[in-house]
Chains A and B, each alone.
Chain A
Amino acid sequence: MRIRLDPWPVDTQDGQLTLKPFAGLVFNAETDRWAAIAPREVPSWLTRVLVVDGKRRMEARLLLDDEAGGLSLAGFGAYVAGAVDLCPHGSRQADLLKVVAQRVLAYSGDGGVTLEPTRLSPRNPHTGQLEYTPHAFAGTQLEGALGKVQRLMLDAEGDLSRRLAAALPLDEHDRAALPDTLVLQDGPVRIGGAGRAVLGCVKTLHTDYLGADRIGLLGTLKPGERTPVLRFRVGDQGGSQDSEGREQRFTWYVRLCDPPFYQHPLAGVMRLEMHAPEDSDFVPRAVLQVANLSGQLLCRLASTPHKDARAPQNLIPTAALEHAMDRAMGSAELVTRRIRSHLARELGQPTGAVA
């Protein structure tokens, strides 16, 4: 018997010990020869890499109580999407693009009520102001508020990625178009974002797109090496026509570091994703170029375990960005206190009693 460690911290939602097979079809897009492809140098035409990520949190769960006696759920939350701007050749310092937190008052829109923007008047005039913009969500479920904040964050993240990335035409005629700016998007690429040079980085592997005959290659990849590019359709359930999925994607795997012997063999393997043109069986040259440089680039950005529990997949710029986003959202404890004292004031209670 052999004991292996799951590479992910125990508080990560379902680790990486087992993979669920992908129900749909996966095609070889680049080549039929299933073997590791060596990394290539980052080409000089790529001058800018942006690492985009988002973060959200709930700051207070609320129970709204209208005059008619109806109860509905709501919550104060915050989200932020940001980016790190760096040069893949290391010729300049990495910068944080402006990281600003948005505050949300998410409430159930089913009751037909609308809410005014809520400003928490600070007790101490030196800590700035907090302003919550109301956003309604559908339904009355408990997780609705959190879901709404999450949705807003993902949208903001997607918008930011699209805005920052260079154009990446995916049709046959423009095979030579090479993007000078590449966006590394945390998680899979977003629906509707085709045509931009956005590379999705999936840190945790939950779905097996390869099948038993091909997945063995992942365990033998060396750092920087990648698998050939594959093509699949998002949401493909297999079988019937209407469950075919929504969008075509290219995907490939890259190994970022040699796994320690005691870990899961897939530790340090990352799945990458890019948009694919509909109904075509070729890989655009730009996508191929990005796949070629991805091993080299990501190995440079990979973190080390003593600095980050999610290393190497949680990239160094991502960790720094998360830190900056936490900072932009402010101290959760302080915000919660401000909310409490605001409510106390609104209810006419002396603030000292609850703050």
Chain B
Amino acid sequence: MTGPGADTANRIGMVLGTEDVMPTVFWFAVSAGASVQLDDLVVVQTRRPDGRTVRFFGLVDNVRKRHEGVTFESDVEDVVAGVLPASVSYAARVLVTRVDPENFIPPQPGDTVRHAHGDDLKMALSADKMGEASFPGGLLADGQPLPLNFRFVNGESGGHINISGISGVATKTSYALFLLHSIFRSGVMDRVAQASGGRMAGTSGGRAIIFNVKGEDLLFLDKPNSKVQKKEAEAQSGKGLDADRYTLLGLPMSPFQDTQFLAPPRAGTSGSAIVPHTDQRSEGVTPFVFTLREFCANRLLQYVFSDAGSSLNLGFVIGNIEEKLFRLASAQTGNGTGLSVDDWQVDLSETPPEDLEFGELGGVNLRTFDQLISYIEFKLLEDRDGEGDPKWVLKQAPGTLRAFTRRLRGVQKHLTPLIRGDLTASEAARYRPNLLSGAQLSVVDIHNLSGPAQMFVVGVLLRQVFDHKEKYGRQDTVFVVLDELNKYAPRDEGSPIKDILLEIAERGRSLGIILIGAQQTASEVERRIVSNAAVRVVGRLDLAEAERPEYRFLPQSFRARAGILQPGTMLVSQPDVPNPVLVNYPFPAWATRGDEVDDLAGRSVVEVGDDWLR
């Protein structure tokens, strides 16, 4: 209890005695002239009977005003008419985020409430516990940066970030990119590495892989945004900030550096040139393909079947064929990228492909995905007068085998451009997706691919990353940004990709693979993936969605507010702070569309023109 006259200078209110005062939640009356809004961080100090003090840090999650001392609602007219004396009571509710020391006694009604600034703010947000591991996760309502604990992101104490929100207004990808920018450019990786004796990788060690699933939004991350200056100036004056938001956060207002852009090739006939399948950006985008031999050698067949889990028999067939193809690939001697087989009696096939290449000893050189399927069809259904090769069939019913080949034929069109056996070894090396030793930030554009092909690419690349990290350990943290998790890891169905994502979610943090996943509705994503995320972020939510159990980490008042959040505003929950905090984050400094690219790179038109004339 603070006596009368004690520190009234910074007082914004007093703890109310007419509402229950609890160690975790209390109300305070806002002093005349003070202004308190939602998300303000406050501190209260109370004195125990033994003279020791306990401080309560919390954030305002509710504010209300009402006429005090009047009974009837119609009294407001008399009050305004100047007939009825009444005062306005202005009260705010505080959710306590921290008690220091941890004596969970209630504060005393009448205790002074102050805004948390400086060290108090650090205590309120547990930044003192984070130390060198804190990096900015956005701006609080009063313009102070929100510290996030990198140790809960990089897998040391926890890992993974999950972002939920309605498409379009929740701007999940934008926030994920902002977090990456903050991680890469705030120097937190270096600081953490240094603090742990250099065993952890520094800034140069962290990598990120982003799967671009919508439009070509993410193909310009290395270009400056022409609107950022204007938008930030508007935000600065609109919110009454002292500086632009990048400055306040201590981050450079610059696009991503050290980037590479990967895109699948355009569909074409066998032997045609490999050009990236992008519409807005052509230069600086590397096409990627998988060779037929890799497809077999690396057991990639399972990623063709996103619904393999639906039938036990089908899974058995897939596993068996995968094994057969793996053996075939292992037996290859040449350095080509195709697959030579010598047991395909083409003349017995019902519909043999036309452009087959026959080897010297009568064998067949498989050079396309189409041919591979034809070969598998032959082995399963046509060999031995329709009985198939018994080693391949393994006594499976013809119906199952037909289901298998029918599915393969179904995705043939989508995967043919991606899986090629007609490349030279050097071409194959050039177009092999290189996510872990290339640039710091890799954008894999899969938006032009059909659903099965997207699943295939994501599954294959994640498997590669996972295998690589399993081999080399957790150094060089890899951040994987994947939107629409509900598509890749749905709650109810199984698929090989979901298995990988689950592995990443459950084991990835110890291997240094961090999943920054996003989805519209967390309730439709595999629960174990969402629940493994240490940092959870919520943008605008559908109110019905917000009431689902996945969002129980939000207090009720925050769930209601999730329905009215504006773009650029997120609720961030991290393990160090028991309550979520509302932040806004700056407009992207990188172009998010082709027309946002700042061709002048921040220079004036005249300056650029001079360069041209020179």
Contacts and interface: CB of A to CB of B under 8 A. Distances in A.
A93 B72 contact: no
Interface string B1-15: 100000000000000
B86 interface: yes
Contacts of A96: 85
A6 to B, nearest CB: 24
Interface stretch (B57-65, B75-83, B463-471, B553-561): B75-83
Contacts of B564: none
A324 interface: yes
Contacts of B75: 307
A192 interface: no
B543 to A, nearest CB: 37
Contacts of A100: none
A334 to B, nearest CB: 13
Choose among A93, A300, A301, A323 the residue with the greatest number of B CB atoms under 10 Å from its CB: A93
A94 B85 contact: yes
Given A93-B79, A94-B79, A126-B1, A307 B85 contact: no
Nearest to A324: B69
Interface stretch (A82-90, A150-158, A336-344): A82-90
26 contacts: A84-B85, A85-B85, A89-B82, A90-B82, A91-B82, A92-B82, A93-B80, A93-B85, A94-B82, A94-B86, A126-B1, A126-B108, A126-B110, A301-B83, A306-B72, A307-B71, A307-B75, A316-B78, A316-B84, A317-B84, A320-B70, A320-B84, A320-B86, A321-B85, A323-B69, A324-B85
A95 interface: yes
A86 B83 contact: yes
Contacts of B79: 93-94
Contacts of B110: 126
Interface of B: 1, 69-72, 75, 78-86, 108-110
A307 B83 CA distance: 14
Contacts of B70: 320
Contacts of B85: 84-86, 93-96, 317, 320-321, 324
Contact of A87 (B69, B72, B82, B86): B82
Interface string A71-87: 00000000000001111
Contacts of A323: 69
Contacts, number: 51
Given A301-B83, A327-B69, 15 more contacts: A84-B85, A86-B83, A86-B85, A87-B82, A89-B82, A90-B81, A93-B79, A94-B85, A126-B1, A300-B81, A300-B83, A306-B72, A317-B85, A320-B84, A320-B85
B29 to A, nearest CB: 15
A155 to B, nearest CB: 24
The 5 closest A-B pairs by CB, nearest first: A94-B85, A90-B82, A96-B85, A90-B81, A84-B85
Nearest to A96: B85
Contacts of B78: 316
A101 B72 CA distance: 26
A94 B83 contact: yes
Contacts of A90: 81-83
A183 B75 CA distance: 23
A307 B72 contact: yes
Interface string A49-89: 00000000000000000000000000000000000111101
Contacts of B84: 94, 316-317, 320
A83 to B, nearest CB: 10
Contacts of B82: 86-87, 89-94
A27 to B, nearest CB: 35
Choose among A89, A126, A321 the residue with the greatest number of B CB atoms under 10 Å from its CB: A126
A87 B81 CA distance: 9
Contacts of A126: 1, 108-110
Interface string A325-338: 00100000000000
Given A84-B85, A90-B82, A93-B82, A320 B69 contact: yes
A119 B81 CA distance: 42
Contacts of B86: 94, 320
Nearest to A319: B84
A303 B79 CA distance: 13
A146 to B, nearest CB: 28
A61 B424 CA distance: 111
Interface in A298-312: 300-301, 306-307
Contacts of A91: 82
A92 B86 CA distance: 12
A89 B109 CA distance: 39
Contacts of A327: 69
A209 to B, nearest CB: 29
B105 to A, nearest CB: 15
A90 B81 CA distance: 5
A317 B83 contact: yes
B4 to A, nearest CB: 11
Contacts of A320: 69-70, 84-86
B500 to A, nearest CB: 61
Contacts of B109: 126
Contacts of B1: 126
A306 B1 CA distance: 42
Contacts of B83: 86, 90, 94, 300-301, 316-317
Contacts of A306: 72
B110 to A, nearest CB: 8
A47 to B, nearest CB: 12
A317 B83 CA distance: 6
B312 to A, nearest CB: 71
B85 to A, nearest CB: 4
A300 B84 CA distance: 11
A92 B83 CA distance: 9
Contacts of A89: 82
A86 B79 CA distance: 10
A94 B79 CA distance: 7
A93 B1 CA distance: 34
A84 B86 CA distance: 10
B84 to A, nearest CB: 5
Contacts of A324: 69, 85
Choose among B1, B71, B83 the residue with the greatest number of A CB atoms under 10 Å from its CB: B83
A307 B109 CA distance: 32
A90 B78 CA distance: 9
Nearest to B71: A307
Nearest to A87: B82
A91 B82 CA distance: 7
A331 to B, nearest CB: 13
A95 B81 CA distance: 12
Nearest to B17: A126
Contacts of A316: 78, 83-84
Nearest to A300: B83
Nearest to A94: B85
B528 to A, nearest CB: 51
